């Protein structure tokens, strides 16, 4: 195996090693979740994610209850991107034995898991516990889409489609920068909403369900690794390039102010920032967010278009095209 330079290349290599397939699965490796057709023709969604201490969370910045909640949200966002409702979850937990408050921290984690389960009305049905060198949380989530509907997936985008995002991006990365500079307690009050976006994100379950019923929506994924990476992913899955078309009006004055204080470019946060858990989707130009039930859809913004003339990711500033080399979050 050649050493892969990206997560996508690694997944492709690993996928080639797994040669047993089942006709019962409509989607296997490569999307936000796997999809299996149930006996009653409902579509069963299966997804899993890992959260690793000092990679995905730091205990000095988040309470264990917040960590548990966010770990569950990571999976719920994959469910939302398929247009599915959550049904049940399995939790695998690795904990460090030398933690002097071990039992208290485990209880707080499970309170966080339960907060998410109570909000979206699904149970934890099992799991496993083991000791190790640090905190690691693995969650497997099952969801479903009724037989009369469809799952949305990364494939399906067409040349000329609009690229939409369901809300303001960059807030989670802005919050991370606040934590790195000031810590949780000393972040100025006016910037604490950014920290909240980082430590307690919201999955777009309701919007995902509403969008699956709209025939103008052609493809969708959750925004977990940043626009730069995730827009490329949708383009790659469909043999298309993406041209981003948005300006500073998409960046809030508060984020611009924070960028000036930190001597950082908030535009980079907007296109690089991961852990947003918004939805990124492709639609025909007939799509109207106002036609989608609920207030969330009204936050949707068209930020670009898909093209067959170019591959990769490009930015149009109103005058010229520039290729975007920023990669977003890469696990390698």
Which whole-number Å values give the CA distances from 25 to 21, 46, 90, 257, 264, in the listed order? 8, 10, 20, 48, 45
Q: Answer yes or no: is pLDDT of 36 > 90.
A: no
CATH architecture of 7-145: 2-Layer Sandwich (3.30)
Which residues are bridge partners to 143 per DSSP? Answer: 45, 86
Q: Answer yes or no: is pLDDT of 30 > 70.
A: no
- pLDDT, position 247: 75
Domain with CATH 3.90.650.10 in the chain: 162-323
Averaged pLDDT for residues 315-325: 87
Domain with CATH 3.30.1330.10 in the chain: 7-145
**Range name among 166-180, 204-218, 246-260 with the lowest pLDDT average:** 246-260
In CATH terms, the fold of domain 162-323 is Phosphoribosyl-aminoimidazole Synthetase; Chain A, domain 2 (3.90.650)
Give the DSSP H or E segment for 285.
Answer: none
Q: What is the DSSP string of 15-28?
A: HHH-----TTEEE-
Helices 205-212 and 64-81, interaxial angle, to 10°?
Answer: 0
Averaged pLDDT for residues 147-170: 94
Tell me the per-residue pLDDT of 245-298, one tens digit each, with 9 for 90 and over.
987 777 899 999 999 999 999 999 999 988 999 999 999 999 998 888 776 777
Predicted model pTM: 0.88
Q: How far apart are CA 171 and CA 37, in angstroms?
A: 37
* 34 vs 86, more confident: 86
- Say if residues 137 and 68 touch (Cβ distance below 8 Å): yes
């Amino acid at each position: 195996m050649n050493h892969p330079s990206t997560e996508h290349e690694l997944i492709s290599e690993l996928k080639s090693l797994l040669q047993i397939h089942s006709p019962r699965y409509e989607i296997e490796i490569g999307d936000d979740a796997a999809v299996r057709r149930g006996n009653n023709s409902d579509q069963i969604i299966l997804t899993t994610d890992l959260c690793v201490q000092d990679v995905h969370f730091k205990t000095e910045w988040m309470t264990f209850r917040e960590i548990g909640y966010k770990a569950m949200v990571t999976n719920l966002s994959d469910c939302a991107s398929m247009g599915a409702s959550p049904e049940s979850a399995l939790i695998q937990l690795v904990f460090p034995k030398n933690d002097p408050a071990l039992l208290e921290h485990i209880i707080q984690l499970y309170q966080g898991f339960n907060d998410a389960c109570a909000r979206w009305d699904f149970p934890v049905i099992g799991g496993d516990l083991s000791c190790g060198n640090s905190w690691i949380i693995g969650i497997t989530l099952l969801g479903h889409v009724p037989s009369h509907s469809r799952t949305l997936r990364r494939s399906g985008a067409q040349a000329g489609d609009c690229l939409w995002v369901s809300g303001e991006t960059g807030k989670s990365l802005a919050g991370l920068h606040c934590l790195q500079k000031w810590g949780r307690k000393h972040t100025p009050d006016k910037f604490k909403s950014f920290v909240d976006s980082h430590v307690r994100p919201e999955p777009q379950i309701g919007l995902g369900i509403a969008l699956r019923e709209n025939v103008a929506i052609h493809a969708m994924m959750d925004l977990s690794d940043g626009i730069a990476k995730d827009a490329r992913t949708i383009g790659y899955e469909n043999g298309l390039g993406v041209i981003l078309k948005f300006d500073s009006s998409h960046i809030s004055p508060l984020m611009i102010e924070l960028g000036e204080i930190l001597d950082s470019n908030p535009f980079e946060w907007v296109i690089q920032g991961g852990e947003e858990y918004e939805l990124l989707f492709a639609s025909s130009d007939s799509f109207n967010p106002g036609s989608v039930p609920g207030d969330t859809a009204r936050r949707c913004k068209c930020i670009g278009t898909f093209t067959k003339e170019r591959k990769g990711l490009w930015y149009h500033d109103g005058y010229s095209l520039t290729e975007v080399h920023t990669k977003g979050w890469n696990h390698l």
